[in-house]
Amino acid sequence: MAWIAACLLALTVAILASYMQGASAGAIEDFEDATSSPCEEINLITCFLPFVAFAVSDEAKDYTPARAKGVITQPQLTRLCDLGNDTAICFRDYTKRCIGSEHPEVHLTAQGTIDFLQFCTKPDAHSKVQKLFSCAQTMEAIHNRCAKSSSSMLPTDVDPSSPTAMVKRPNALRDLCCHVKKYEGCYLPEVQTHCGAEGVTANQDFLQRIYTSYQCSKHFPNCPA
């Protein structure tokens, strides 16, 4: 789900670690006090806790060999979709409650993530994602190279001390769209050779869903060189 989710997940782990250090009754009481206000930043962080818990669980270990083989089962996809949707709804609800209309792109990002995850409800979702998984495994070296070459589109001025500041960061959505577009330009021309016509279609459909969900077309003319 893009650099925004990745940054927030990493930040969640760091903040949780600080909460856990020297845990005591007083620390727990402080945590309870922090969550009493619906717009405390901890309530934004908790949106991502299910993903963090999943990432360190025994269940997540089953995904490692599947990824290595380029395979994902229907139950595994359903699990990931459910986690993603619950997180996205929590994030959307927090932004509606706590972030004003002067930050329209925050709200667009939140709703766009929910819209993007609607692909999970499609009857052919598993077959399409399986094609993406298989193709990604075949092109792993190319994806790694393209990830490095497109990293210039990622933000370097993110403030890790405040998750709210991170989501309000100017041009965050533009950077997301431009990063994906540059990544596409690097890897997509090679998909036909490595994955065939079906692989091209699956990747193009996936990219188009990202661009539509986040209204990326209006940002492409402003992508940094």
End-to-end C-alpha distance for the chain, whole angstroms? 23
Enclosing H/E stretch for 126: helix 125-138
Give the separation between CA 74 and CA 76, rounded to whole angstroms.
5
214 Cβ contact partners less than 8 Å away, ≥ 6 residues apart: 108, 109, 112, 116, 173, 176, 177
Reference 155, options 168, 141, 142; nearest CA is 168
Residue 17: what pLDDT? 35
Integer-rounded Cα radius of gyration of the chain: 19
Query: Is this structure's pTM higher than 0.95?
Result: no
Q: How far is CA 31 from the centre of its chain?
A: 26
pLDDT surpassing 60 at residue 156: yes
Helix axes 140-149, 125-138, angle to 10 degrees: 80
Question: Which structural domain range is residue 121 located in?
Answer: 2-222
Span 158-186, pLDDT tens digits: 666 677 777 788 888 898 899 899 999 99
How many domains would you assign to the chain? 1
Angstrom distances, CA of residue 84 to CA of 54, 79, 127, 200, 218 = 11, 9, 19, 25, 26
Confidence of residue 59 (pLDDT cuts 50, 70, 90): confident
The whole-chain average pLDDT of the chain stands at 79
177-217 pLDDT tens trace: 998 999 999 999 999 999 999 999 999 999 999 999 999 99
